[in-house]
């Protein structure tokens, strides 16, 4: 900050430069107050601040009255927290009840800046603030940042799976740019289900793009190489690759050859147990199967299967057969024939040579079946099969047969894709699909907004592995749960979530705002879950203070199905004449919230962190 504001680069700052700095920091401070802080810090009385004097000024500016007050509530002398006083605070306010004394010692060692205080096992107010701003003081339970659910040995249909639609597009669906960057970004975000649309290309090389549109093209070979390189950098858990196949027989042979050559033993070409697939595998990463990808067909033609039963010994990628009636755009619908994976054991099956044998041999799990009704699926389908539904079809099923949909998703995978009318790559609300247990809810990862905030919020837990175990009542085939019917919920009564929004710290300016403009921030808390839990409340706005606004307002919510609830905190710049501007947000699952005094470290519109912007709350 000092270097930014020291315009003439003389290593000191006059009052005019300090005023400019305050504007840069989103502080609209009364000039007399600013001058008083400036003069207090100017120990040399030179009319400028140098080095340590600037540090004094900055400390006075950033002093947190609300933190000091909280500190003094637990400190007998108002200057330090003894080990026992810190233990009291952790137990009474932070509701830490296991190994509290060890935790207190750990926090002092980690966050107390004074060596003397550390040696005496006490925490100063500076150390206390550092703890509150640390991962241990975050609203997100740090234990849930790693693989906290532990159980990864259940069938794939028991997990929500982070899923992307038309992954190769980084803009809109008609003229947008196709790029391997789309795959890299999605994989780095923990995405585990990716989509590839394959079409015949020049010189016998299949290409990836959105057919019948003006999107640019990328060679299939480049996509596969990218997957081989990035698939397991963020997560060790299975990748599902949805292949929409529009290629001629000749180029299908090339697809198969490139998949096998580039991915090698990463491509799964047999069932995990070498037997006929009667059930879905689990995502479990073991020594025998350290990595795997599951490839699925969204294209035309039927998959034949030879199934030689050989077992690979290194990471693998699984090819599944998926089919859909996914529209390309607007009224132009393409009816995609359901692909056929393994049927009647390992019997070979072809349909007018519509799928090359070499490509078909890559298909193991997730044979696509067209969906007619839950009753028919239960009578004629297998757990290793999958249905793809448009968002509109899924919504109708949720509305008409919610409990049947939940039951169906306890034993079989369902993939949901966006409406063909969403040519701008906008997204539908994934929450209503998760409410009935749909696992593969495919979103346009390139489009920032509430929907991707929810997706990032749900999958930010569990080490960002891209898999989240569904609640127990969504894994039981006899479940009575229906998200639209409160009478079907087996809960002892609603959970009350009380959030005191205390203050904000160094909130960013609104993008493209006028020079010198200061924001008028408000905080909105949104609950996304079953329809009865959907709610939003907001604080009043604070005029001209993006630096250290104080709200001290309490918001309260009743959650009937907290297991499915996501909480989204949004900061906006209030505008009485037009729509409020977005400032920052943070979204997390209710299960990952830590109670007590917590900081919420805000994220930008595209989900990247914007330190040191935060909210201070009490849960």
Backbone angles phi, psi at 615, to 5 degrees: -115, 150
Task: Kindly name the residue from 158, 165, 408, 528 that is annotated as catalytic.
Answer: 165
Q: Which residues of 180-210 are buried (b: 16+ CB within 10 A; e: fewer)?
A: bebbbbbbebbbbbbbbbbbebeeeebbbbb
Alpha-carbon span 462 to 565, nearest angstrom: 16
Beta strands in 18-150 (DSSP E): 49-50, 80-81, 123-124
Residues 6+ apart with CB under 8 A from 402: 436, 482, 483, 484, 485
- Residue 415, strand partner residues: 388, 440
From residue 115, how far is each of 55, 85, 119, 123 by CA, in Å?
Answer: 20, 19, 6, 11
Cα-based distances in Å from 609 to 183, 606, 613:
21, 9, 9
Please, how many CA atoms are within 13 Å of residue 270, restricted to the half-sphere of its CB? Answer: 14
| CA distance linking residue 302 with residue 307, whole number of Å | 15
Q: Is 210 a catalytic residue?
A: yes
What whole-number distance in Å separates Cα of residue 262 and Cα of residue 427? 33
Q: Name the catalytic one among 158, 210, 246, 408.
A: 210
Of the CA atoms within 13 Å of residue 498, those in its CB half-sphere come to 6
Q: Which string of b and e fits 142-161 if b means at least 16 CB within 10 Å?
A: eebbebeeeebebbbbbbbb
Contact between residue 81 and residue 66 where contact means Cβ atoms under 8 Å apart: no
Q: Which of 614, 567, 569 has its CA nearest to residue 593? A: 567
Whether cis (ω within 30° of 0) applies to the bond prior to 535 is no
Based on its alpha-carbon atoms, the radius of gyration of the chain, rounded to whole angstroms, reads: 28
Q: In angstroms, how far is the first alpha carbon of the chain from the final one? A: 32
Residue carrying structure tokens 């990328």:
218
Quickly tell me which residue has 């909210």 as its tokens.
615
| Residue 124 CA: distances (Å) to CA of 74, 100, 109, 127, 345 | 12, 18, 12, 5, 69
> Any idea what DSSP says for residue 579?
P
User: How far apart are the C-alpha atoms of 172 and 194, rounded to whole Å?
Assistant: 17
Q: Which two tokens stand for residue 335?
A: 């009816």
Is 33 a residue of the active site?
no
Distance CA(283)–CA(469), nearest Å, equals 11
Position of tokens 């009490």?
Answer: 618
**How far, in Å, CA of 3 to CA of 21, rounded?**
10
Phi–psi pair at 401, nearest 5 degrees: -140, 55
Question: Among the residues of 163-246, which ranges form H helices?
Answer: 180-188, 220-230
Please tell me the distance from the alpha carbon of residue 601 to that of residue 586, in angstroms, as a whole number. 7
Q: How far is residue 527 from each of residues 378, 485, 510, 593, measured CA to CA in Å? A: 34, 18, 24, 13
| SS3 of residue 339 by DSSP | coil
Q: What does the DSSP 8-state code read for residue 138?
A: B
For the annotated catalytic residues, the residue numbers are: 165, 210
């Amino acid at each position: 900050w000092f270097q930014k504001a020291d315009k003439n680069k003389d290593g000191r700052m006059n009052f005019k430069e300090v005023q400019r700095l305050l504007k840069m920091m989103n502080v609209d401070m009364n000039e007399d107050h600013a001058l008083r802080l400036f003069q207090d810090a100017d120990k040399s009385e030179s009319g400028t601040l140098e080095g340590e004097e600037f540090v004094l000024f900055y400390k006075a500016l950033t002093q947190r009255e609300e933190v000091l007050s909280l500190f003094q509530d637990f400190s007998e002398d108002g200057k330090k927290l003894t080990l026992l006083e810190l233990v009291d605070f952790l137990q009474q306010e932070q509701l830490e009840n296991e190994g509290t004394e060890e935790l207190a010692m750990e926090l002092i060692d980690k966050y107390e800046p004074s060596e003397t205080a550390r040696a005496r096992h006490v925490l100063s107010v500076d150390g206390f603030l550092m703890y509150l701003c640390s991962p241990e003081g975050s609203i997100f339970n740090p234990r849930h940042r790693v693989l906290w659910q532990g159980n990864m040995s259940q069938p794939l249909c028991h997990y929500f799976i982070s899923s992307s639609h038309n992954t190769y597009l980084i803009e809109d669906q008609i003229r947008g740019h196709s790029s391997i960057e789309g795959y890299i970004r999605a994989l780095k975000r923990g995405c585990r289900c990716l989509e590839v649309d394959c079409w015949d290309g020049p010189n016998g090389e299949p290409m990836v793009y959105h057919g019948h549109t003006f999107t640019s093209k990328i060679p299939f070979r480049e996509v596969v190489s990218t997957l081989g390189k990035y698939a397991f950098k963020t997560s060790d858990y299975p990748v599902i690759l949805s292949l929409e196949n529009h290629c001629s027989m000749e180029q299908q042979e090339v697809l198969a050859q490139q998949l096998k050559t580039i991915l090698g033993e990463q491509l799964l070409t047999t069932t995990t147990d070498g037997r006929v697939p009667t059930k879905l595998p689990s995502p479990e990463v073991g020594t025998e199967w350290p990595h795997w990808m599951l490839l699925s067909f969204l294209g035309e033609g039927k998959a034949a299967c030879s199934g030689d039963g050989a077992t690979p010994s290194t990471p693998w990628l699984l090819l599944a057969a998926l089919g859909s009636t996914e529209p390309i755009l607007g009224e132009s619908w393409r009816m995609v024939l359901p692909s056929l994976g393994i049927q009647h054991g390992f019997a070979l099956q072809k349909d007018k040579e519509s799928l090359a044998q070499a490509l078909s041999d890559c298909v193991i799990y997730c044979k696509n079946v067209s969906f007619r009704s839950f009753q028919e699926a239960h009578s004629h389908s297998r757990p290793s099969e999958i249905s793809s539904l448009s968002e509109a079809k899924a919504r109708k099923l949720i509305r008409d047969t919610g409990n049947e949909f939940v039951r169906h998703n306890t034993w079989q995978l369902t993939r949901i894709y966006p409406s063909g009318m969403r040519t701008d790559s906008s997204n539908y609300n994934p929450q209503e699909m998760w409410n009935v247990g749909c696992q593969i809810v495919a979103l346009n990862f390139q489009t920032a907004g509430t929907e991707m905030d929810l997706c990032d919020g749900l999958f930010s837990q569990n080490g960002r592995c891209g898999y989240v175990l569904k609640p127990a009542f969504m894994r039981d085939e006899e479940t009575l749960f229906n998200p639209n019917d409160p009478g079907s919920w087996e809960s002892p009564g609603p959970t009350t979530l009380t959030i005191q929004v205390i203050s904000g710290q160094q909130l960013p300016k609104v993008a493209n705002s006028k020079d010198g403009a200061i924001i008028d921030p408000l905080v909105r808390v949104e609950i996304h879950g079953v329809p009865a839990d959907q709610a939003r409340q907001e604080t009043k706005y604070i005029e001209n203070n993006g630096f250290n606004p104080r709200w001290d307002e309490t918001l309260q919510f009743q959650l009937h199905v907290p297991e499915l609830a996501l909480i989204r905190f949004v900061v906006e710049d209030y505008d009485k004449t037009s729509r409020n501007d977005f400032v920052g947000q943070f979204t997390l699952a209710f299960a990952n919230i830590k109670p007590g005094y917590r900081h919420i470290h805000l994220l930008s519109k595209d989900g990247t962190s914007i330190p040191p912007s935060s909210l201070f709350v009490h849960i």
